[in-house]
Amino acid sequence: MYGNVRNYSQITDKSYIEVNLLRFVHLLRHSGLRISSAESVEALQALTAVDIKDRAEVKAALQGTLVKDREYISTFERLFDSFFVPETAKQDIMQKHRQRLDKRQEQLEKAKEDLQFQEESLDLTEEEQLAYSEMSPEEQERLKNFLHETSQGKNVTEKFKPLVESLVKGHLQRWQQNRGFKAVQLESIGDEYLDALLAELNFNGPQEKNLLRQDMGSIEEKDIPHMNQVIRKLSRNLATRISRRYENSKKVKQIDIRRTIRSNLRYGGIPLDLRYREKRVRKPDLLLICDVSGSMARYSTFAMLFVAGLVSTVRKLQVFLFSEDLEQVQLSRHAAGKDMEKFARKMQTDSSVWGEGTNLNLSLHRLLTQYFSALGSNTLVIIISDTKTLQPLKAAEKLRRVKNVVREVLWLNPMPAEQWEKHQTVAIFQRHCKMYLCNTLGQLERIIGRKLLK
């Protein structure tokens, strides 16, 4: 609509309005609003009832049809004001985005060139490379000197690379924590302007809105209280939607053919007295298996707190922690909801497997032997892990056995998607489950919500 207007005849062109509305809806969905196809059609119909040239009327019509929760009104207003702008403003936003992409690419290439061990680039995440680019020249020089010195020596071979890599990663992560550095996410959703607009909003928008799209592993301590509030709100809203779905499903009736025929024999077979059967919708059993080794602990903690808010929407909720072994924990919405931070600290203190190494094979063996009764045809199993484990082939075989006795196995992998091909364990486990990229709260809510609302 108003973004690319060259004349008023274009404003009233139906296909032009439809395309821009769909792009706007796509932007809203990506920012956390849940909008169905039917609601998109209603929004288009609402636009036919207002003066399409009146910005205020268009905004009111779209808000009335697309925004269902009061908490998203400010998000809608911000996105509306950012999306429907003159063409010159759009070009400026896209130009800034191209410059950011070029600068980021230069920073990544420089980091790869500087951070090498024996002329081979270290395997660092994009955020770690960007953290290096933000260091002062003196700090960068010290890190390069460290790599140069450790690469030398008579007995220094490529076997030392993983150790050096670990030391560099630790140094970069400590630098990030001390400086409060977080790389801004530059996402791509297949539309150049929407990509540019999301980047602009991420750079200039309020931090609290970015928590939904921020990597959960990089959440700072100071942001955790607000993160817990966001988790509580998201899980409460999702629980409400799921509960309504179960209530509505009880009202859906199907004709019972056999009972209808028998009931109407007295009428010569004419179906005057229809008999119905209600569609039965069973609440699933949810079994959560969380990797709490090393860097995975924070992802698993946030996931457990989110799932705790859904306990009333599932028939049974069981939670297991694993690292070198498997451990069952008691997780209830009441316990986690009273004080999330205190609950998370207590869980970490009481756990005997927290922060240890990773052996999924041993953990799944214990699940299949000691806790086999927890698995059933109505059980939805959710595993949260980056797939890095000892004995991956043996673990995959046990995962196959789990898959054969449950409803479905979902694997939520926080590892950046561009790294999946570098780790054979990803492909090994993908054969026996549905694996999804999941390192943000927004992704966690969408994936679990989609499965429980089936």
Instruction: Give DSSP secondary structure letters for 91-143.
Output: HHHHHHHHHHHHHHHHHHHHHHHHSEETTEE----HHHHHHHHHS-HHHHHHH
Q: What is the mean pLDDT of each run of 10 residues along the chain (454 residues)?
A: 42 68 87 84 89 90 88 84 87 87 89 87 86 87 87 77 86 73 68 81 56 78 78 78 56 68 75 69 85 88 88 87 91 58 76 89 96 94 95 96 96 90 94 93 87 76
Whether residue 97 sits in one domain with residue 78: no
Cβ proximity of 233 and 32 under 8 Å: no
Distance between CA atoms of residues 403 and 409, nearest Å: 6
Whether residue 442 sits in one domain with residue 367: yes
Distance between CA atoms of residues 244 and 79, nearest Å: 29
What's the confidence (pLDDT) of residue 340?
Answer: 62
In this structure, what token pair is assigned to residue 312? Answer: 């009333």
Whether residue 121 sits in one domain with residue 251: no
What's the confidence (pLDDT) of residue 117?
Answer: 85
In this prediction the pTM is 0.56
Does 189 fall in a domain? Answer: no
CA angle (404, 408, 409) in 5-degree steps: 90
434-437 and 316-322 strand pairing: unpaired
Secondary structure (3-state) at 85:
coil
Whether residue 93 sits in one domain with residue 65: no
In this structure, what token pair is assigned to residue 276? Answer: 């119905």
Return the DSSP state at 415. Answer: S
Single out the residue in 85, 114, 132 at which a domain terminates: 85
Whether residue 95 sits in one domain with residue 77: no
Q: Which among 199, 26, 231 has a CA at the least distance from the CA of 96?
A: 199
Whether residue 95 sits in one domain with residue 56: no
In this structure, what token pair is assigned to residue 287? Answer: 């079994």
Whether residue 273 sits in one domain with residue 291: no
**DSSP secondary structure string, 13-62?**
-HHHHHHHHHHHHHHHHHTT----HHHHHHHHHHHTTS-TT-HHHHHHHH
* HSE-up (13 A, CA, CB side) for residue 136: 4
Q: How many domains does the chain have?
A: 4
Q: Which residues contact 238 (CB under 8 A, 6 or more apart)?
A: 309, 310, 313, 445, 448, 449, 452
CATH number for the domain spanning 327: value is: 3.40.50.410
User: What are the φ and ψ backbone dihedral angles of 352, each rounded to 5 degrees?
Assistant: -95, -5
Whether residue 333 sits in one domain with residue 410: yes
Residues 149-178 have pLDDT tens digits of 888 876 777 788 888 888 888 888 777 766
- Residue 291's DSSP bridge partners are 322
User: What are the φ and ψ backbone dihedral angles of 381, each rounded to 5 degrees?
Assistant: -95, 130
In this structure, what token pair is assigned to residue 330? Answer: 């008691």
Whether residue 448 sits in one domain with residue 380: yes
Does 213 fall in a domain? Answer: no
Cβ neighbours of 357 (radius 10 Å): 12
What's the confidence (pLDDT) of residue 180?
Answer: 59
What's the confidence (pLDDT) of residue 210?
Answer: 62
Does 212 fall in a domain? Answer: no
Whether residue 363 sits in one domain with residue 272: no
- Residue 255's DSSP bridge partners are 276
Whether residue 383 sits in one domain with residue 272: no
Q: Which domain does 145 fall in, by range?
A: 89-179
Does 239 fall in a domain? Answer: yes
Whether residue 94 sits in one domain with residue 44: no
What's the confidence (pLDDT) of residue 2?
Answer: 46
Q: Which among 403, 214, 202, 394 has a CA at the least distance from the CA of 298?
A: 214
Most distant CA pair in the chain: distance in Å? Answer: 99
Does 201 fall in a domain? Answer: no
* Residue type present at position 367: L
Distance linking the first and last C-alpha atoms of the chain: 34
Cβ proximity of 381 and 408 under 8 Å: yes
Question: In whole angstroms, how large is the CA radius of gyration of the chain?
Answer: 26
Q: Which residues contact 144 (CB under 8 A, 6 or more apart)?
A: 114, 115
Does 439 fall in a domain? Answer: yes
Single out the residue in 278, 300, 323 at which a domain terminates: 278
Q: Which among 25, 21, 29 has a CA at the least distance from the CA of 449?
A: 29
Q: Which among 89, 93, 77 has a CA at the least distance from the CA of 24?
A: 77
Single out the residue in 32, 60, 85 at which a domain terminates: 85
Does 191 fall in a domain? Answer: no
Does 112 fall in a domain? Answer: yes
